[in-house]
Amino acid sequence: MRQPFWVTFLDGKKAVCIETMSLEEARALGATMGAVRDVKTLPYPAEPRTHPTECPSFCYRPNDCAGTTACPQRHSCTE
């Protein structure tokens, strides 16, 4: 199953959600778009996305949720 990752870039380019099978794969795909600053897990896909899957973009605050595997909000954005 693909995991969403939030990829940020060194040059200030807009962060992007990449859905891959591993963090290493997300880092490699991100590197094709620019110098990667960081790659963190997301609980749900977020916009913008590189290759959208059938799962909707449920995460509306990816900068706040990056690094978690479950929504950290008291009430998730999907409720």
Sorted by where each begins, the domain ranges of the chain are 3-65
Query: What whole-number distance in Å separates Cα of residue 45 and Cα of residue 56?
Result: 7
Q: What pTM, to 2 d.p., does this model score?
A: 0.89
Backbone phi and psi for residue 18, each to the nearest 5 degrees, phi listed first:
-120, 125
What are the tens digits of pLDDT across the range 9-48?
A: 999 889 999 999 999 999 999 999 999 999 999 999 999 9
Query: pLDDT category, 58, cuts 50, 70, 90?
Result: confident
Cβ atoms 6, 43 nearer than 8 A: no
